[in-house]
Amino acid sequence: MKSIRNRLDFEVSLKEHPRPRWSSGRPLITFLARRLASAAGTLVVVSALLYFVTNVLPGNVALVVLGKNATPARVQALDARLGYDHSIVVRYFDWLGGVLHGNFGQSAVAVALHDPQTAISSTLSSPLSNSLILAAIASLLLIPLTLILGGISGLFAGRKLDNVISGPLLVSGGLPEFVTGSLLILLFFNTLNLLPPISSLSPGQSPFSEPKALVLPVVTLLAVTVGSGARQVRAGVVEVLRGEYVQYARLNGVNERRIVIWYVLRNALATSVQVIAQNLQYLAGGIIVVESIFDYPGIGEYLVQAVQARDTNKVLAAAIILAAFYVLINILADVIVVYLVPKLRTEMS
Amino acid sequence: MTTLSTDTELSREKFRSGVMRSPGAIIGMVFVAIVVLLAILGPLLAPYSPIATIGIPGQAPTAAHILGLDFEGRDVLSRLLYGGRTTLFMCVVATLLTYAVGLTIGLIAGYTRSFVDSLLMRMVDVFLSLPALLVMLVMVTALGPSQVILIVSAALVLFPGVARIVRTSTLEVSRRGYVEAAIARGENTISILRREILPNIAGPIIADLGLRFSWSIILISSVNFLGLGISPPNPDWGLMIAENRIIISENLYAVLAPSVVIAILILGVNLVGDAFVRSLGESRD
């Protein structure tokens, strides 16, 4: 179903832009500059939204963090230490300035517990690298799998091979990660006893030292993304196959292999890159649940724990990093699409 | 006006026959019906209290407890029968709210043809530039995990898609002759939107309904799974999966049963939604 949403949105976005003219002689650079500028703007707006929403209730942080030990004096002292005695606008710009320098502020929980380590930045690197490893492995498998499964089922649309591929994809692409993950645990741990049900690592341990622990989180991420992605690639291939130029080439006796490679697959590539980009973006949200299912110490689990503790600054740090990743993938995908498919240079803005 | 009535009648007929004939849609409707009945009638059928500890935690299925006991020694079947109502209710309300907001914003943006349009669409773009679950989690952090907050945040995540579809369809329809005729007749904007535009953009909106609903189920039950939504000891399918993972070696049904129920519900909604899309001729395959 995700596939349909993406497709509808994609169609909408194509319809909305009536082919703007390029202003400079170097379209790719203009394009890139424009995308970067708009992404930076988006991120600033997003950061403000995130900051104001999480700080909308004054005194909230100190009260929640201190819990039963909250006395007016203590709340006030903690507020002062965290800078909550300033106006929200001042605090936002302080925070934004810090973030731009890689300083994400202090953890309210750590301050309240008199933990000597209060800086959030120092707690981010390990979960970040763990998540990047997980996401990178998933992406490396996601891209070829989406293209191959989607391409094959598209070329064989309506035949047995297509049904064999599309059926399972329909199921796996629709289910939420926590259902897929739990079912995979039941299968690979309970029934087959092949893989561990949790993928927790001791502090400082590299995920590569426990390769078995990475299997189920990666497979869960792939189930959802390849499931919805390959179906969209399939739809793209089917549409190209119906195109007049493919029929024309066939009528002209161009050999089928040449048609498939030079006409169909090449032209289906534009949709495919965007589909894959949407699914790479999706990883930014998907890892939140997947890391929690398997207890994998990445930025997603970091976020969930911070939300449970109501540690606002930690939530903000994880949130802004995930949002930046989301926006970045979007630009990267646009650039690749524009690079691969010249036709789109006039259709996208 | 003739164009209008034939338009809707034709598509409605195509719609009905297409959906009814498709085996996917029939299977889907059966799936959805099973789970919805389970959720609504479940509490009447439950043999035990969903929150009472009645035996050894993680006890495997017996004749008295056909799905065994959960991690706190509560009857899994009873919790399963009670665990759907709240979430399903929240998902329905969230979907309604999504459409109320999405339709309003989409209609305004698509019909006004002024700066309001680009202003609203920029706002929509900002919401689309954040991962859905992230927005939900930030809202829960800021405002607490109440049912109202979960519903509002799900709608916040889902409305941009609806607003975009409504805007595009409205833009297209509002340029047609019968709308211009209605404007020339001097009809007021509200009645033009209601009588000329809404019936003619109903197709793409309904096609999108199943998808939004399944998204609201995924989002809200994911938040419950993460332990940030419905709070224990209340029974909920997503929460049950999360809390019973520690006893999967003893009683795997405590995890399997709620997983299967959620899977059937979402698959059912997706199958019906797909059939709608296909019958509208919106699908490419």
Q: Residue A197 has what DSSP assignment?
A: S
> Which of A7, A17, A307 to mutate against chain B (most B CBs within 10 Å)?
A307
ipTM of the complex as predicted: 0.83
Contact A15/B at CB under 8 A: yes
Say whether the peptide bond before residue A217 is cis (omega within 30 degrees of 0): no
Is B129 in Cβ contact with A281 (below 8 Å)? no
Is B131 in Cβ contact with A284 (below 8 Å)? yes
Q: Where does the pLDDT of residue A14 fall: very low under 50, low under 70, confident under 90, or very high at 90 and above?
A: very low
CA proximity to A310, closest of B194, B228, B180: B228
Mean pLDDT of all residues in A224-238: 88
User: How much is the mean pLDDT over chain B?
Assistant: 84
Q: Is the pLDDT of residue A263 over 80?
A: no
- What chain B holds in terms of domains, given with CATH numbers, is 33-284 (1.10.3720.10)
Q: Where does the pLDDT of residue B281 fall: very low under 50, low under 70, confident under 90, or very high at 90 and above?
A: low
Is B141 in Cβ contact with A322 (below 8 Å)? no
A29-33, B11-15, B92-96, range with the lowest pLDDT: B11-15
A40-54, A132-146, B53-67, range with the lowest pLDDT: B53-67
Determine the pLDDT at residue B121: 86
CA proximity to A296, closest of A120, A143, A118, A135: A135
Contact of B232 with B239, CB cutoff 8 Å = yes
Strand, helix or coil for residue B127: helix
Nearest to A312 among B141, B164, B226 (CB): B141
Determine the pLDDT at residue B184: 81
Contact of B93 with B284, CB cutoff 8 Å = no
Neighbouring C-beta atoms of residue A185, cutoff 10 Å:
24
Mean pLDDT of all residues in B255-283: 84
Rounded Cα–Cα distance for residues A322 and B130 (Å) = 8
Rounded Cα–Cα distance for residues A83 and A77 (Å) = 10
Determine the pLDDT at residue A58: 52
Sorted by sequence, the CB contacts under 8 Å of residue A200 that are 6+ apart come out as: A213, A294, A295, A296, A297
More confident residue, B97 or A241: B97
Six token digits for residue A70: 């909250």
**Measured over all CA atoms, what is the biggest interatomic distance in chain A, rounded to whole angstroms?**
86
Q: Is the pLDDT of residue B34 over 90?
A: yes
Is B284 in Cβ contact with A288 (below 8 Å)? no
DSSP string over B50-61: TT---S-TTPPP
| DSSP collapsed to 3 states, A65-132 | HHHHHCCHHHHHHHHHHHCCCCCHHHHHHHHHHHHHCCCCCECHHHHHCCCCCCECHHHHHHHHHHHH
Determine the pLDDT at residue B18: 60
Q: Where does the pLDDT of residue B110 fall: very low under 50, low under 70, confident under 90, or very high at 90 and above?
A: confident
Q: Where does the pLDDT of residue A344 fall: very low under 50, low under 70, confident under 90, or very high at 90 and above?
A: low
More confident residue, A269 or A187: A187
Q: Is the pLDDT of residue A94 over 80?
A: yes
Sorted by sequence, the CB contacts under 8 Å of residue B111 that are 6+ apart come out as: B170, B174, B189, B193, B197
Mean pLDDT of all residues in B214-233: 90
Rounded Cα–Cα distance for residues A244 and A251 (Å) = 10
Contact B138/A at CB under 8 A: yes
Six token digits for residue A329: 């993938």
Q: Is the pLDDT of residue A4 over 50?
A: no
Contact B255/A at CB under 8 A: yes
Q: Is the pLDDT of residue B1 over 50?
A: no
Sorted by sequence, the CB contacts under 8 Å of residue B122 that are 6+ apart come out as: none
List, in sequence order, every beta strand (DSSP E) within A201-332.
Answer: none
pTM of the shown model? 0.84
Sorted by sequence, the CB contacts under 8 Å of residue B240 that are 6+ apart come out as: B70, B76, B79, B80, B83, B254, B255, B257, B258
Q: Is the pLDDT of residue A238 over 80?
A: yes
Q: Residue B247 has what DSSP assignment?
A: G
Q: Is the pLDDT of residue B143 over 80?
A: yes
Contact B161/A at CB under 8 A: yes
Determine the pLDDT at residue A221: 93
Contact of A146 with A233, CB cutoff 8 Å = yes
Residue A110 has, within 13 A of its CA and on its CB side, a CA count of 16
Dihedral pair phi/psi, residue B281, rounded to 5°: 75, 20
Dihedral pair phi/psi, residue B69, rounded to 5°: -115, 155
Six token digits for residue A213: 């622990």
Determine the pLDDT at residue A12: 41
Contact of B32 with B269, CB cutoff 8 Å = yes
Q: Which residues share a beta bridge with A106?
A: A119
Element holding B3 (H helix, E strand): helix B2-21
Sorted by sequence, the CB contacts under 8 Å of residue A72 that are 6+ apart come out as: none
Rounded Cα–Cα distance for residues A4 and A226 (Å) = 14
Rounded Cα–Cα distance for residues B80 and B75 (Å) = 9
- What chain A holds in terms of domains, given with CATH numbers, is 23-348 (1.10.3720.10)
